[in-house]
Amino acid sequence: MSYQVLARKYRPQRFSEVIGQEHVTRTLRNAIEQGRTAHGYIFSGHRGIGKTTVARILAMALNCRSADRPVSEPCGSCESCTEVRAGNAVDVIEIDAATNRGIDEIRELREAARYRPARDRFKIYILDEAHQITDAAFNALLKTLEEPPPHVVFMLATTQPEDIPQTIRSRCQHFSFRAVRFEEIVAQLRELCGREGISADEEALALLAEAGDGSMRDALSVLDQAIASSEGRLGAESVRQLVGVVSSAVLEALMQAVSRAATRETLEIADRLLAEGHNPVHLARQLLRFLRNALVAKVAGADSSVLQVSADERNRVARVAGSFSEEELTRHLQIMLRAHAEIGYRQEQRFHLELALMKLAHAQKLLPIEQLLSAVEGGTAPEHAVSSHPEAKKGEGPGIAQVSPFAADSARKAASRKESALEVSSPPWPSAGASATPQVVMGSVAPAVARNAVPAQKENPEETELVRSRVLSALETSGVALLLSTLESGEWRIEASELIIRLPASPAFIEMSLTNEARRTIVASASGTLGRPVQLQVVAGISPRPAPPDSPAARESSRGRAEREPVVRRIKEKFGAEIRTVIDYKGKP
């Protein structure tokens, strides 16, 4: 007698034997017990997860002769069940829709469906790969499927239910099958190896289940190969060579080399794997999956059920996750996703794989933009630029400590909120004309407590006046006369690397008039005058002081300043408007 493969030998013959599809089998058994069976079913899902098998079991349950009515579990021993299992039942017709997809074949099926079954209760049609049927053939089947004879049941199995017309789907009960879980495949493989008398390592079973990729049939096919290639016992190494996967220990060593930015070691590991015959595309896919598992272990923990890997690989991805931050793992995963998409259709696949590994190694030296921004705001060099890599100590290149930029950003925000909570009503320096208006810096509350906590340096009036005159000259050249007059009447002060201007205007006026271009002009002029980076802080809430008599603002009337404003000129040109009354910021016409 010829050998029967495991996928056929241990094919489920009862609903209770189906793995991973309890939501389908439970519904079908309840429908049979309640006498609510439908005339049309669509079974859709991943390959090798039991669609056709469930269709056959349902056919056996409907035609089982162990009772005078359909049963929730077929007996498996009667003549009807035996014929369905053997595939030669007269009244259960299996049609390969991939080859019988035309309108002529469907017309023949429709004509044959008019006749009663030869022996059993129902005439059952199982259409495998039903999405391959043409639209014209589906239209020919439409009326028969909607109102079939009472003795006919249609079962459509497909991997692409979206290709079946909605008119067909609306006339059938649709059951979506799920991919079989990793643990369920491992348990089934362990049981079948016990039945076959084959000894297998747990890691070998895990590799077989991973090769199945959610398909029980695929896992059983690989198990057949593994048994044939083994010498009485299934070991992890033999299965790994058969399947062609890289050991998780090698992938861990590769990522540890990446974490140290050891480019030479990274290239040597890749060269050894390629010399062993590993395909660059498959190698990139396996590294991609390993990085995904490491990211899941970092986010959800190594014990998470989202990780469908063996216990040994759980420990390895957990160690890799401890060597990187969540942001770095996300960046590495994105690099490998792009590399995997490119390697598949490029000529020099090895070069592109090596380039991707170099990107992973050099990504460890990237400084997050959050740290750069925080360094610019503080006016000092970023503390995290100190390297922990040996290469950086030798002066061969900069390195970056493992600091999460998001954590640093959260810490800065928390410190800012704390300073705002501790802020008192006293201004940063006394002013006789100060009002009760809250201080506003660029439209937000000014953290004055930061300046009070650090002793202020002695102010240089000459330096402040020089900065003031050059900034006002730069603004006058840029043509912002209204803002110029407001800045001239304000109080200027320089503290370390911060230019503070208190203005006799409302926060809304400052936010409207102090545009981004004006801010850049002020900062650039002040920084060029002082010879160091300067931060700008504009505070509202003081009494106005008159502009100097010889200033441009004093020489120019309110109407003239208003006519020079770009917004006013555009409104006049666009709508033909004219200026009738000018009210300055003091509220006087």
DSSP string for residues in 66-100: TSSS--SS--S-SHHHHHHHHT--SSEEEEETTTS
Q: Which CATH number applies to 182-243? A: 1.10.8.60
pLDDT for res 429: 39
Does pTM top 0.85 for this prediction? no
Q: Which CATH number applies to 6-176? A: 3.40.50.300
Q: What's the CA gap between 157 and 229, in Å, rounded?
A: 34
Q: What is the largest distance, in Å, between two alpha-carbon atoms of the chain?
A: 115
Q: Please name the helix (run of DSSP H) or strand (run of DSSP E) that holds residue 535, with its range, or none.
A: strand 535-540
pLDDT for res 396: 41
Identical fold between 182-243 and 248-365: no
Give Cα 339 to chain centroid, integer Å. 17
For every residue of 351-416, which 3-state class applies, written as one string? HHHHHHHHHHHHHHHCCCHHHHHHHHHHCCCCHHHCCCCHHHHCCCCCCCCCCCHHHHHHHHHHHH
For 9, the 3-state DSSP assignment is helix
User: What is 440-556's CATH superfamily?
Assistant: DnaA, N-terminal domain (3.30.300.180)
Long-range contact pairs involving 472-480 (C-beta distance under 8 Å, separation at least 24): 472/551, 473/525, 474/521, 474/522, 474/524, 474/525, 475/518, 475/521, 475/522, 476/552, 478/517, 478/518, 478/521, 479/564, 479/566, 480/513, 480/515, 480/518
- Short-list 486, 143, 184, 535, CA closest to 374: 535
Q: What's the CA gap between 288 and 333, in Å, rounded?
A: 7
The count of other CB atoms within 10 Å of the CB of residue 269 is 21
* Residues in Cβ contact with 270 at an 8 Å cutoff, skipping those fewer than 6 apart: 254, 283, 353, 354, 357
- Short-list 440, 566, 565, CA closest to 508: 440
Q: Please name the helix (run of DSSP H) or strand (run of DSSP E) that holds residue 128, with its range, or none.
A: strand 123-128
> What class, spelled out in words, does domain 248-365 have in CATH?
mainly alpha
Q: What's the CA gap between 484 and 487, in Å, rounded?
A: 5
**Where exactly are the structural domains of the chain?**
6-176, 182-243, 248-365, 440-556
Task: List 94's β-bridge partners, or say none.
Answer: 126
Tens place of pLDDT per residue across the chain (589 aa) = 578 899 999 999 999 999 989 999 999 999 999 999 999 999 999 899 999 999 999 999 999 998 889 999 999 889 999 999 888 899 999 999 888 888 888 999 988 998 899 888 999 999 999 999 999 999 999 988 888 899 999 999 999 999 999 999 999 999 999 999 988 999 999 999 999 888 888 888 988 998 888 899 999 999 998 988 887 788 888 888 888 888 888 999 999 999 888 889 999 999 999 998 888 888 999 999 999 999 999 998 888 888 888 888 888 999 999 888 888 899 999 999 998 888 877 778 889 999 999 999 888 777 666 666 655 555 554 444 444 444 443 434 444 444 444 455 555 555 554 444 444 333 343 333 333 333 444 433 333 333 333 344 456 788 888 888 888 888 877 766 567 777 877 888 888 778 888 887 777 777 777 787 788 888 888 888 888 888 888 887 655 445 555 555 444 556 677 777 777 777 777 777 777 777 765 444 4
Is the separation of the CB atoms in 190 and 22 below 8 Å? Answer: no
pLDDT for res 402: 44
